[in-house]
């Protein structure tokens, strides 16, 4: 829907920075829907800082597959555009397995400008990893939480 990719701007540093509040919201949402896979979008502001988590329903309600509910995905992307944000990341959970991109995740990664964040809920605490998908391959990037205070 014409969302510029903040992710591209931040790849020089080769790490994904998530404010603690954003990190917590992602993990809490994924935990709340376990054992189903949860999913959603993360928006960034004009400076490329992740500023909002937009959960989207998994229309498949499956522990091993997800597809964003079409209307909610449309509304979330519209909100990102209208707020002047950009699509920073797409997240989903793996309730029963390691947080590594599956062949399905890579095949269906239609938004290469966004980071892919996967929350592994197999263990406590959850393991959160981040990737970029380029040319049909996923490459892991360091994912680090940062203070919520904008410096």
Cα separation, 111 vs 151, in Å, equals 30
Please report the sign of the dihedral spanned by the C-alpha atoms of residue 78, residue 33, residue 109, residue 41: positive
Site string for other proteins, 16-35 (x = CB under 8 A): --------------------
User: Among 21, 24, 49, 67, which residue interacts with other proteins (rule: CB under 8 A)?
Assistant: 67
User: Among 22, 50, 53, 90, which residue interacts with other proteins (rule: CB under 8 A)?
Assistant: 90
**Half-sphere exposure of residue 106, counting CA atoms within 13 Å on the CB side?**
14
Count residues near other proteins (CB under 8 A): 37
**Cα–Cα distance list, 17 to 10, 48, 57 (Å):** 9, 10, 25
Cα separation, 88 vs 9, in Å, equals 10
Query: Taking CB under 8 A as the rule, does residue 140 contact other proteins?
Result: no
Between 64 and 127, name the residue whose CB sits nearer to other proteins. Answer: 64
User: Among 30, 43, 54, 77, which residue interacts with other proteins (rule: CB under 8 A)?
Assistant: 77
Q: How many degrees, rounded to 5, is the angle at CA 34 between CA 32 and CA 39?
A: 75
- Residues near other proteins, by CB under 8 A: 1-5, 37, 39, 41, 56, 60, 62, 64-68, 70-71, 73-74, 77, 90, 92, 94-97, 101-102, 104-105, 108-113
């Amino acid at each position: 829907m014409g969302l510029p990719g903040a992710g591209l701007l931040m790849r020089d540093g080769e790490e994904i920075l998530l404010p603690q509040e954003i990190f917590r919201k992602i993990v809490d949402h994924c935990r709340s829907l376990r054992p189903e896979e949860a999913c959603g979008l993360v928006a960034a502001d004009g400076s490329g800082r992740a500023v909002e988590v937009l959960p989207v329903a998994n229309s498949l309600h499956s522990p091993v597959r997800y597809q964003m509910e079409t209307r909610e995905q449309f509304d979330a992307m519209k909100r990102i555009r209208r707020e002047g944000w950009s699509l920073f990341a797409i997240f989903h959970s793996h309730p029963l397995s390691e947080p590594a991109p599956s062949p399905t995740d890579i095949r269906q990664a239609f938004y290469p400008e966004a980071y892919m964040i996967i929350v592994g809920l197999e263990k406590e605490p959850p393991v959160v990893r981040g990737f970029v998908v380029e040319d049909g391959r996923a490459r892991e990037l360091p994912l680090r939480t940062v203070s919520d205070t904008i410096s």
